[in-house]
Amino acid sequence: MSDSPQPYRVLARKYRPRNFRELIGQDAMVQTLGNAIQRGRLAHAFLMTGVRGVGKTSTARLIAKALNCIGPDGQGGPTIDPCGVCEPCISISEGRNMDVIEMDAASHTGVDDVRSVIDASRHSAFGERFKIYIIDEVHMLSKNAFNALLKTLEEPPEHVKFLLATTEVNKVPVTVLSRCQRFDLRRIPADLLASHFAHVVEAEQVAAEPDALALIAQAAEGSARDGLSILDQAIAHAEMGSDAAAPLVTAAQVRDMLGLSDRGSVRRLLGLLLEGDTGALIAAVRDHYALGVEPLSLMRGLMELVHAITLVKAGRDIASPGQSTEEREALADWAAQLGFAPLHRLWQLLVKGHEEVASAVLPIESCEMALLRVMHAATMPDPGELARMVREGGGTAVPAASGEAAQSPPSAPAARLPQSMAEVIALVEARKPSLANHLHDCAALVSLAPPDLVLRLTHPWTQSDFKRELETHLNAATPGTRWSVRLEESGGDMTLLEQDEAARAASRAQILETPVVKAAMAAFPEAELVDGEPERWSAEA
> Band of the pLDDT at 240, cuts 50, 70, 90?
low
Say how far apart CA 120 and CA 126 lie, in whole Å.
Answer: 11
Task: Give the CATH class of 263-378.
Answer: mainly alpha
Say how far apart CA 171 and CA 167 lie, in whole Å.
Answer: 9
Give the pLDDT of residue 5: 58
Residue ranges per domain, the chain?
11-184, 190-258, 263-378, 421-487, 508-540
Question: Is pLDDT of 219 > 90?
Answer: no
Mean pLDDT calculated for residue range 71-79: 88
> Band of the pLDDT at 394, cuts 50, 70, 90?
very low
Domain 11-184, CATH? 3.40.50.300
Task: Judge contact between 320 and 191, C-beta under 8 A.
Answer: yes
Q: Which amino acid is at 431?
A: R
Dihedral sign, CA of 335, 336, 337, 338? positive
Q: Which residues are paired to 456 by β-bridges?
A: 444
Topology of domain 421-487, CATH: GMP Synthetase; Chain A, domain 3 (3.30.300)
Residue 456 phi/psi, 5-degree rounding, is -125, 125
Give the pLDDT of residue 108: 82
Question: Is pLDDT of 414 > 50?
Answer: no
> Band of the pLDDT at 350, cuts 50, 70, 90?
very high
Mean pLDDT calculated for residue range 107-113: 85
Question: Is pLDDT of 378 > 60?
Answer: no
Q: Which amino acid is at 240?
A: M
Q: Which amino acid is at 281?
A: L
Considering only CA atoms, which of 11, 397, 5 is closest in space to residue 226? 11
Residue 281 phi/psi, 5-degree rounding, is -65, -50
Mean predicted lDDT score pLDDT of the chain: 81
Q: What is the pLDDT of residues 296-336, one digit of tens each?
A: 888 988 998 899 899 888 887 766 655 667 777 888 888 88
Question: Is pLDDT of 388 > 70?
Answer: no
Mean pLDDT calculated for residue range 501-506: 84
Question: Is pLDDT of 230 > 70?
Answer: yes
The CATH number fitting domain 190-258, selected from 3.30.200.20, 1.10.8.60, 3.40.190.10, 1.20.1290.10: 1.10.8.60
Task: Judge contact between 354 and 303, C-beta under 8 A.
Answer: yes
Q: What are 380-387's contacts with CB under 8 Å, separation 24+?
A: 382/341, 382/342, 382/345, 384/341, 384/430, 384/431, 385/476, 387/430
- By percentage, how much of the chain surpasses pLDDT 90? 13
Say how far apart CA 273 and CA 374 lie, in whole Å.
Answer: 8
Angle 295-313/340-358 helices, nearest 10 degrees? 160
Task: Judge contact between 168 and 184, C-beta under 8 A.
Answer: no
Question: Is pLDDT of 507 > 50?
Answer: yes
Query: Does pTM top 0.85 for this prediction?
Result: no
Mean pLDDT calculated for residue range 414-424: 78
